Amino acid sequence: MALILAIETSCDETAVAILRGCDELLAGEVWSQASLHAAYGGVVPEVASRNHLAALPGLVRTALRKAGVQLDGIDAFAATSGPGLPTALLVGMAHAKALAIGAGRTFLAVDHIEGHLYSPFFGEPEIPPHLGMVISGGHTLLVDVESYGACRVLGSTLDDAAGEAFDKVAKLLGLNYPGGVEIERLAREGNPARYDFPRSMLHSGDFQFSFSGLKTSVRYLLERESVSLPDVCASFQDAVAEVLVKKAIAAAQSARRSVIAVSGGVSSNGRVQALLSRHASEAGIEVRFAPRELRTDNAAMIAYVAALQLGAGGGSQLSVDVHPSFDLQHFERNRPGAHPSTI
Ligand code: KG4
Ligand code: ZN
C-alpha cells in the first residue's frame, strides 16, 4: 500500500496528512490561521503565505512523527495546485516538489475542488456515481460524477460562494470571521419566518446560484430598521439552505443520480443538513456528508485524491504550475493518468 504525504495551503489552513492506501490516515495535521486573519475581517494573502512558509516544516515533521514513518518511507508527495490564493498555493507546491525531488519519489498535483468533492467517500477505493455538491468558502458547485475523474459541472455560483455569503453577512452583522458558525449559533434562537429574504434563482430553471442579492437585502434591512440579530441569522440561513437544497435535489433528479454527496465548510450547517436529508428522503435519494473533520480545508482529502490518482496510474510533471482560479475545462479534463509520472 502506497504511503502518501499531502500538503494543503490554498487559503488560510496549513495542513499536512499522511495516508496509507486510501483509507488508513496515519496523520492529519491542520493549523488554522483564522485568528491571524480575524483582525482584518478576511484572509490576507501575503499573511497567509508567509505563515504557511513558517509552519510547514514543523507540521511535516509532526506528521511524520505521529505516523511513525521516515521521509524516505513516503512513496509520493502531493500538494494542492489550485484553485486558491496564488502565493499560498506556491508555498505548498514548492514544498511538496522539493520533498519529492529530495526523496526521488513521485509528485502529484491535486485539485482542491476534487479534494472537497470526493471527501464524502474518504477511505473507499472507488467513487460511485453521484451528484456532488461542494459548498465552501470559495466555491458552490453541483457536479454530476460518473466515477473518479469523470465529471461534469452542472452549476456554480454567478457571484459569491455559499460560505462567502455567510461570511459577508456575518461581517455586516458585526460577527466574527469566519461567520458561518456564528450565524448558525445565533439562528438557533431566531425565527426563520421573521424576514422574507429572496431565494435567488430558485426558479431560474438551471443549476446556477447567486448569493450577492441576498447579502444586499440584508444590508438594506439593517440600514432601514433595528433588527433582531437571531431572527436575521435564522431567516438568512433558511434562504441559503432552501436554494442549495432545492437545486441539489433538482440536479440529482435531472442527472438521474440516486446519491447526493455534500462537502465543504457549509455542509456542517445543521439547517442545510436537516433540510437536505428531509427533501432527499422524500425524493428517494440517499445523502452522504463528508466526515466532520474533512469539511473545512484539510490535507487528508488531498491525500485521498492523490491515492485515487496514483491508483489510476497518475503522477504530475514537476513543471506543473499552480492554477489559482477555478477553470471548468481544467477541472472536467482532470482525468486520472492524464499526466505521465516523471520520477
Ligand atoms: O471548505 P472551507 O474551508 O472553505 C473553502 O475551502 O473555501 O469552508 C469554510 C467556509 C466559511 O465560509 C465558513 O463560514 C463556512 O465554511 N462554514 C459554515 C459553517 N461552518 C463553516 N457555514 C455555515 N454554517 C456552518 N456551520
Ligand atoms: Zn476548501
What is the tens place of the pLDDT at every residue in 213-222? 999 999 999 9
Give the tens place of pLDDT for each residue, 249-286: 999 999 999 999 999 999 999 999 999 999 999 999 99
User: Sorting pLDDT into bands at 50, 70 and 90, what band is 343?
Assistant: very low
In this structure, what C-alpha cell is assigned to residue 318?
Answer: 514537476
pLDDT, mean of residues 148-166:
95
Decide: 267 in ligand 1 pocket, CB within 6 A: no
Predicted local confidence at residue 35, as pLDDT:
87
Please state which of the ranges 241-255, 268-282, 313-327 shows the lowest mean pLDDT: 313-327
Predicted local confidence at residue 177, as pLDDT:
78
Given this structure, which CATH class describes domain 3-118+295-332? Answer: alpha beta
Predicted local confidence at residue 176, as pLDDT:
85
Residue 336 has pLDDT above 60, yes or no: no
Q: How far is the CA of 176 from the centre of ligand 1 (A)?
A: 13
Q: What percent of the chain has pLDDT over 90?
A: 88
Residue 143 has pLDDT above 90, yes or no: yes
Domain ranges of the chain: 3-118+295-332, 129-289
Predicted TM-score (pTM) of the model is 0.94
Q: What percent of the chain has pLDDT over 70?
A: 97
Output the average pLDDT for the chain.
94
User: Sorting pLDDT into bands at 50, 70 and 90, what band is 334?
Assistant: low
Decide: 264 in ligand 1 pocket, CB within 6 A: yes
Predicted local confidence at residue 329, as pLDDT:
79
Q: How far is the CA of 225 from the centre of ligand 2 (A)?
A: 35
Evaluate whether 3-118+295-332 and 129-289 have a shared fold.
yes
Q: How far is the CA of 219 from the centre of ligand 2 (A)?
A: 27
Residue 338 has pLDDT above 80, yes or no: no
pLDDT, mean of residues 18-24:
97
Q: How far is the CA of 256 from the centre of ligand 1 (A)?
A: 28
Predicted local confidence at residue 335, as pLDDT:
55
d(C-alpha 308, C-alpha 323), whole Å: 20
User: Sorting pLDDT into bands at 50, 70 and 90, what band is 339?
Assistant: very low
What is the fold, at CATH topology level, of the domain defined by 129-289? Nucleotidyltransferase; domain 5 (3.30.420)
* Ligand 1 atom with least separation from CA of 268: 26
Among 181, 263, 294, which is best to mutate for testing ligand 1, by the most ligand atoms less than 8 A from CB?
A: 181
Respond yes or no on whether the N-terminal peptide bond of residue 178 is cis (omega within 30° of 0): yes
Among 12, 136, 175, 275, which is best to mutate for testing ligand 1, by the most ligand atoms less than 8 A from CB?
A: 136
pLDDT, mean of residues 177-189:
94
